[in-house]
Amino acid sequence: MTKSAAPRKYDHVAVLMGGLSAEREVSLRSGEACSNALESAGYRVTRVDAGRDLAQRLAGLKPDVCFNALHGRWGEDGCVQGVLELMGLPYTHSGVLASALAMHKERAKQVMRAAGVPVAEGRVVLRAEAAKAHALPRPYVLKPVTEGSSVGVFIVREDHAHPPQELNDPNWSLGEELLAERFIPGRELTCGVMGDRVLGVIEILPAETLGFYNYEAKYAAGGSRHLLPAPVSPNVYELVQKLTLTAHKALGCRGVSRADFRYDDTPGGTGEMVCLEVNTQPGMTATSLVPELAAHAGLTFAELVSWMVEEASCNR
């Protein structure tokens, strides 16, 4: 049981996991970890692999609340949130608009820029265009506009004569629009928000065998090291926290979110701080960042997911 003595609003929790996106396997791991933690906290948990029959399954289960452990398209982009709103089922994380907005990286950048959060310069390009010629001066980054977990991300460096040839793959399934952004050298920093409370700042160091903080670095054992608190100056640490909370509020996020940054403190660098994106449903696996940030703030994993459940609602 958690240490909280507050009365609970909910008992039966449906944990939505798996789903239909490219991040299905990560979602299954997040969902299982959250399910186990919620059971240890005393909730009655039903694990639901979210397919196209989700509404029918939930209608039969009649849970009190849904813990949304889905990642990527359909689960994190407002689609499932709309289904739950129609059914009148309270759910965790952000609502329809904030989820859709944050998932579309270019639209999210527009909102964050207007709120005073610095973002990387870039433009949206069609996959066919990006495959034929460099979308920006090298080095630059190419990534799907509406995917997460670094799925389909390419760093095109100065010595890359041609764009990524993977873009010509006939089996490409990550959308026809890509975001091309100027590459920002330096540190990878991340910070979380829990309600209106900003958490700490982590510096992420990918394993030396990996080129950047990619899918493997995020989810494979030994893929990265996390430095918490991040070894940066107090001013930089506080700036990351301030920008994280500003982005969370500007996008209309609810519950837990996490913002990722690049900080160029390289010799002769620009010193700039750039927000790459806001994750409205960050990973909740054993190697994930938000549980680590919560632990640093004094919360066990069970306390974190219990708070998320009790904070759940409709009309988010």
Per DSSP, 90 falls in state -
Helical segments of the chain, H only: 24-40, 54-61, 79-87, 96-103, 105-114, 127-132, 215-219, 234-251, 289-296, 301-310
Give the type of residue at 28.
L
CA 288 from chain centre, in angstroms, equals 10
Are 88 and 249 in contact by the 8 Å Cβ rule? The answer is no
Catalytic machinery residues: 23, 149, 219, 258, 260, 277, 279, 283
Hey, what are 194's tokens? Answer: 């829990």
How far apart are alpha carbons 130 and 163 in whole angstroms?
7
Distance between the two ends of the chain, CA-based, in angstroms? Answer: 28
How far apart are alpha carbons 308 and 294 in whole angstroms?
12
